[in-house]
Amino acid sequence: MRTKANPVGARHPARLAVIVSVALLVGLLAGPGSAANGSGPDTPYDYACRLPSGAGTAKVVVSTSFPKEGEVGRPFSSGAVTVDVALAHDAVASLLPAGTTHVQSTATLAVRVAHNGRTADATWSGLVAPTTPVPSEGDGRLTHAGEVPSVTVATPGDVTLTAGGLTLELTPVASDQPTESPQAAESPGGTAEPVSLACEPTPGQTGLLATVSVPGSRRPSPGASGTGEPRGPGDLPGTGIQVQPRAETPGGETTCSSDIPEGDPDSSDAPPPPPGGPLGVTKLPFTSVCAYAVGLATVRKQNGAMIINDPAKHPALMNVWANKFVNSRSRNAPGGFYGRNDSIGSLKLPDAESTFLSFGFTPVTAKVSFDNGPVSISTGTIGVSPNRVNFAVVSLKQSLRIHDVKVNGTPLDVGDECRTSAPFKVVLRGSFGPNGASGTYLNVLAGGLLTGSIDIPAFAGCGTLGEDLDPLFTAAISGPDNYLVMNQAAACSPPAALPNGCPPAIAPLPTTFPAP
């Protein structure tokens, strides 16, 4: 005689497997997106800058993620962009007061939008660069990032965006001599008044940033970041081109929390410097930024995917001490150039609740509580062109608890302590092309895409009245190769001069997923 398998013991934990996957990821935050087909190559353009000592030069690279195609009457945008500016050491020295060891920068780029023989001017402002060491020799590199306005056109045809004048607001930061370790480093002595630097592209360059095709009848291609309701020609200016700042995030926070993240960043998962001379390490004052991120996760054993930090359900916001430690070694020192910015973040998530269908029929709901440690964010560069290597690493310790489980509306008591048996480490990384090109995550201010996989530990404490459900949850969920992808929006930086990326934007869900 065949006896019926216990439905709780045999089936319910499997139904929860994808639900539990939420916990692997919702606590992961910390992502410019790779260029879409509409964006032009990351071509360096030469700029002439007005310096106190006379004319100077700068190399400027603008990275965008515009879609390949747009749609008539519907706005399209790159979202976050980066503006990388390389200035000669002599130029930087002539601008900044003696004793300046680091510099903060905000960039404004003029952009000409052209469509069917007509033009409109856009201003990409509030692009913020993290606090950056001033090099003792060689070029100084400032990488700015931020959200930019959308573009809407009234008729079909190609839309081109071309770079124009560039203005930098440089704020000198003076500090004591950098030390060998973060624990011993002192905060900088203070900041001076900002210095403005105006630059114009030198003649003979295209300055092309992106070309977006707007067909007459076809829908935009997959991945196009068109948003908002379509608009007719009569709703747009006489040029047939409209440039608009991004809309505020519906239902999101308006600014960052005043709470200061505790602890120091854990940079152990970042690439170490090549053997050679010591690093100079400086602790910088608290700079508050915050950002939203959303993503997708899999549980390998269930072959399922889950939305993480759902943008439609008031997602959690991470507060960050941006660039708490700056680690650097010059290109001429033994071992060569190494630069790394370490940030620390805090993320307090509400319980997540999800509903699934087991075997396509039985609805299962559950809540997941998260216990996150500090979120460490390390971004940087090893070496110089043509052999430069960029990196971006985000890590944290996390554990999770499952509760309030219902199967077809009937409560399933898993106890109050059904959780992973130990905290597990989550490590996410950005990807970069040769010589550091086409990065998916440049720094905590720019945001972007991060991917990784995690090993879910065994479960413990699951079940009541002597019923041990630990082996069942472990068999259904625990194990390696659970893949995840997170997309962080550009950060809101309240201390920066307006516009500063605030209120923080909610990132779109990733359109790609890492293959197992």
How confident is the model over 453-476, as pLDDT tens digits?
989 899 999 999 888 888 877 877
Q: In the chain, count of helices (H) and strands (E)?
A: 5, 28
Do residues 31 and 448 make contact, with C-beta atoms less than 8 angstroms apart?
A: yes
470-477 helix and 17-25 helix, angle to the nearest 10 degrees: 70
Which runs of E-coded beta strand occur in 28-117? 45-51, 54-63, 80-87, 100-115
* 418 — pLDDT class (breaks 50, 70, 90): very high
Question: Token pair for residue 245?
Answer: 């700042």
Say what the pLDDT of residue 474 is: 81
**In angstroms, rounded to a whole number, what is the distance separating the alpha carbons of residues 67 and 77?**
8
The residue among 330, 322, 301, 293 whose CA lies nearest residue 510 is 293
Q: Of the candidates 469, 470, 508, 514, which has an alpha carbon nearest to the alpha carbon of residue 7?
A: 469
Residue 120 identity: A
pLDDT at 139 over 90: no
- Written as one letter, the residue type at 12 is H
Higher pLDDT, 191 or 281: 281
Q: pLDDT class for 236, splitting at 50, 70, 90?
A: low
Question: Which residues, at least 6 apart from 258, have a Cβ–Cβ distance to it below 8 Å?
Answer: 288
Give the DSSP H/E element, type plus range, for residue 482: strand 479-488
Most confident of 105-119, 204-218, 250-264: 105-119
Contact between 70 and 153 (Cβ < 8 Å): yes
Question: Residue 88 in contact with residue 57, Cβ under 8 Å?
Answer: yes
How far apart are the C-alpha atoms of 258 and 208, rounded to whole Å? 40
- Between the alpha carbon of residue 191 and those of residues 135, 188, 342, 344, the distances in Å are 18, 8, 20, 22
Give the model's pLDDT for residue 164.
Answer: 95
Residues 6+ apart with CB under 8 A from 461: 415, 417, 418, 419, 470
Distance, in Å, from the CA atom of 147 to the CA atom of 125, rounded to the nearest integer, reads 9
The per-residue pLDDT for range 343-389, each reduced to its tens digit, is 999 887 777 666 554 444 556 567 777 788 999 999 999 998 888 89
Exposed e or buried b for every residue in 392-406, given b needs 16+ CB within 10 A?
A: bbbbbbbbbbbbebe
Out of 209-213, 250-254, 470-474, 496-500, least confident range: 496-500
Eight-class DSSP state of 301: G
The CA distance from 201 to 112, in Å, is 13
Query: What confidence tens digit (pLDDT) does each residue in 148-199 have?
Result: 888 999 899 999 999 999 999 888 876 543 333 333 333 344 556 788 999 9
The DSSP code sequence of 243-254 is: EEPPPPPTTS-S
**Amino acid found at 21:** S
Give the Cα separation of 11 and 40 in Å (integer).
Answer: 52
Q: Distance of alpha carbon 429 from its chain centroid, rounded?
A: 11
**Angstrom distance (rounded) from CA 74 to CA 225:** 10
Residue 237 has pLDDT above 80, yes or no: no
Query: Considering the chain, what is the average pLDDT of its residues?
Result: 77
How confident is the model at residue 404, as a pLDDT?
Answer: 86
Give this prediction's pTM: 0.67
Distance CA 446, CA 441 (A): 7
